[in-house]
Structure 1
């Protein structure tokens, strides 16, 4: 299965989340930037409020595609199997760099965080590969006291999807290709999402 674009993926994902439609104690949090177009459709179809959950991958210097961890809302999660091979000063430099980017995005999007305490939170991204960023997002989110966390993505490898069933309350994944190459391979259009698009999508629906 390939999705036309992120909006198409959001529609298919919403179809598997219909049991949450219109519930007053449910909110949707999008992982920017790629998760925002997916989450906008999910939130609109399910008549739910949407906000962002800001998270950044911590890439290994010189091999940035390899995650040594992630940072979300100030909470840092390190994958020590990878991070143990990186000098401590380099880890600290990357953390500072990504923290600055999170702060820049927070300011750029002009958002006030949605209240999630005692609510069911559906965390949406455009897909998972290793899941490092999403693990950081979930860990940061737990500190805010939600009653239930649902990870919802259009595509992920089976092993990553299965791993999340052990750390969150529910995992919803539309397709688990085998073999799994990359998230973008599940999309015909996987264009980069800009900060301006994120702002427009946030403004397109109710932010409660």
Structure 2
């Protein structure tokens, strides 16, 4: 997918800086925690956390892609915590349209659970998960297309009893932002261009974020 003729963002870091400008109400507060969805949400979340003076961590969630069309989400899965079961959110329309069997869905789910476990060890190592209870959590990603991944993240996060869940993204489809307002306490979508087409279209540079970049940004944030 080629970028738009007039991209909204140079890259994810620029997107995070612009998004932070709409989140000033959460700046310099002891109760705010930024949790970014890896991998692409982490550079965005890093800039948001830096400008708000808030700690940064990752929230592990994975899209369940349709086999052969992995960018199309038939759902998503997230881990609420080490002591709880993973939470799966499904897109019933996609399941019906593509006639996804239970066996296929379970196979993809198991694959993505293994990837979540790998990322948990890689990104967090021996560090304990941040305390979420009674805090305002900003869930940050680089954009929203279907919203399936973010819905799974919100559902899993609610298990840990935060004071508020705020979804914050640089760009999204307008209808997705409106839908997510019903499952969160607030939604901040910096831009909702129409027609939307896809997240990457609105970035001049939408190069895939690497595991090493995620680890480096988390380490830099802790310092």
SS of the residue 1:28 aligns to: strand
Q: Does 1:21 align with 2:48?
A: no
**Counterpart in 2 of 1:186?**
202
Q: How many residues align?
A: 207
Q: Does 1:175 align with 2:191?
A: yes
- Aligned Cα root-mean-square deviation (Å): 1.1
**Counterpart in 2 of 1:78?**
90
Q: Does 1:90 align with 2:104?
A: yes
Structure 2, unaligned runs of 5 or more: 1-6, 80-85
Rounded Cα–Cα distance in structure 2 between residues aligned with 1:172 and 1:64: 27
Match of 2:180 among 164, 173, 193: 164
**Counterpart in 1 of 2:83?**
none
Deviation at 1:81, TM superposition (A): 2.2
- Alignment of structure 1 residues 53-72 onto 2, 5 Å: 53-72=59-78
SS of the residue 2:76 aligns to: strand
Deviation at 1:194, TM superposition (A): 0.3
Deviation at 1:206, TM superposition (A): 2.2
TM-score (norm 1): 0.96
Q: Does 1:101 align with 2:115?
A: yes
Rounded Cα–Cα distance in structure 2 between residues aligned with 1:205 and 1:62: 37
TM-score (norm 2): 0.90
Deviation at 1:2, TM superposition (A): 1.2
Q: Does 1:119 align with 2:135?
A: yes
Q: Does 1:130 align with 2:143?
A: no
Rounded Cα–Cα distance in structure 2 between residues aligned with 1:99 and 1:118: 27
